Amino acid sequence: MNRESDQPSWGFLRSKRWAGYTGLVVVFSIVCALLGQWQFDRRAQARAEIARIDANYANAALPLEEVLPSLDAYSDDDDKWQTVEMTGEYEERVLLVRNRPNQQSVGFDMLALFRTDSGNVFVVNRGWIDAGNTPDEPGKIVAPPEGRVTVHARLKESEPEIPGRETSGDMLATINLNDVADLVEQPTYTGGYGLLSAEFDAATEEPLSAEAGILQPKPERDEGPHLSYALQWYVFIIMAWIGLAYAIRMEYRSLYPQSERTKRQDKKTAERKQRRGLDDGEIEDALLDAHR
């Protein structure tokens, strides 16, 4: 009996169930696309950082006032890693930044206050030191050299504040230059600070071998796995739609096993199996059936 309802139709896709499945795949695809774009953005940021390293790290030192014409100047990261030169004297006061990692240990960064000949204070990170007997106390604090010196330092931007962590005396939670300026209470550069590169006697221009902490090495030129992660998210989108299409196909076959479409698909499947022969699993199944 050929009733109209028995005729093959894709009308079942208009049901609430299949609308829900399709909506779920659409939402999943949107989320994956956003995550993929986020990874592309992170890759772009990493490549921009590599470009800054290549452009600035090996440059000759430029006068500090030329790179930072005002105390709060910082040129959208374009000046990052540029070596700046300044002449003046270190102050005796040293600030410490806690919870700074170095390989397998956590210690402190030493911040020296360098008073330039112009009278402004520039913050110089003189390297990392290990903790002492307790994690909250530093080990040996190395004093900066005395007298007039010329300093070369690679420029970095001020770090943001960390919620829930506060400055305690001369102990900082992060290298936030506004916090440093509040502590120093003197005209202080807040647009950027410097990672110590070299020091020279201002009178003789001879390099100084003053002891310092462990200096930060040259940053790696590594963009990370962001490209592969981004592509993976788009592969997930393709897999989701393939899965939906497969589910629709299986639903159609279960509803209309005798339809011409289903018969043609079964015939093609049988012909493919015949051309390639039986696989090991099918041979084992046939042998088991023969002995039953």
Tell me how many domains the chain contains. Answer: 2
Instruction: State the Cα torsion 274-277-281-283 to the nearest 10°.
Output: 100
Residues 101 and 235 in one domain: no
Q: Residue 284: CB partners within 8 Å, gap ≥ 6?
A: none
Residues 151 and 77 in one domain: yes
What Å distances lie between residue 111 and 24, 126, 176, 177, 195, CA to CA?
Answer: 53, 6, 11, 11, 9
Q: What's residue 106's pLDDT?
A: 86
Within-domain flag for 134: yes
Residues 20 and 143 in one domain: no
Which tokens sit at 139? 């080990």
Within-domain flag for 7: no
Task: Report the distance separating Cα 242 and Cα 131, nearest Å.
Answer: 56
Residues 197 and 71 in one domain: yes
Domain span at 232 = 13-57+222-265
Residues 46 and 150 in one domain: no
Which of 136, 135, 112, 132 is CA-nearest to residue 122?
112
Within-domain flag for 284: no
Within-domain flag for 245: yes
- Only one residue has tokens 């993929």, namely 36
Beta bridge partners of 198: 152
Residues 145 and 258 in one domain: no
Per the CB < 8 A criterion, the answer to whether 107 and 138 are in contact is: yes
Task: Report the distance separating Cα 6 and Cα 93, nearest Å.
Answer: 89
H or E stretch at 148 = strand 148-157
Q: What's residue 262's pLDDT?
A: 64
**Structural Rg of the chain based on CA atoms:** 33
Q: What's residue 27's pLDDT?
A: 97
What Å distances lie between residue 176 and 72, 123, 165, 220, CA to CA?
Answer: 12, 11, 12, 24
Cα–chain center distance at 249: 42
The CATH code of the domain that includes 153 is 2.40.50
Residues 130 and 245 in one domain: no
Within-domain flag for 216: no
Stretches in the chain below the pLDDT threshold 70:
1-7, 75-76, 135, 167, 209-211, 258, 261-263, 265-292
Q: Residue 255: CB partners within 8 Å, gap ≥ 6?
A: 12
Residues 152 and 245 in one domain: no
Q: What's residue 3's pLDDT?
A: 44
Q: What does the pLDDT look like over 249-274, one tens digit per residue?
A: 888 888 887 677 666 766 666 666 66
Model confidence, pTM: 0.71
Task: Report the distance separating Cα 179 and Cα 158, nearest Å.
Answer: 10
Residues 40 and 130 in one domain: no
* Secondary structure tally for the chain: helices H, strands E: 6, 7
Task: Report the distance separating Cα 256 and Cα 264, nearest Å.
Answer: 12
Residues 111 and 40 in one domain: no
Residues 83 and 140 in one domain: yes
Amino acid letter at 97?
Answer: V
Within-domain flag for 89: yes
Within-domain flag for 2: no
Q: What's residue 274's pLDDT?
A: 64
Q: What's residue 203's pLDDT?
A: 86
Residues 170 and 251 in one domain: no
Q: What's residue 1's pLDDT?
A: 40
Within-domain flag for 4: no
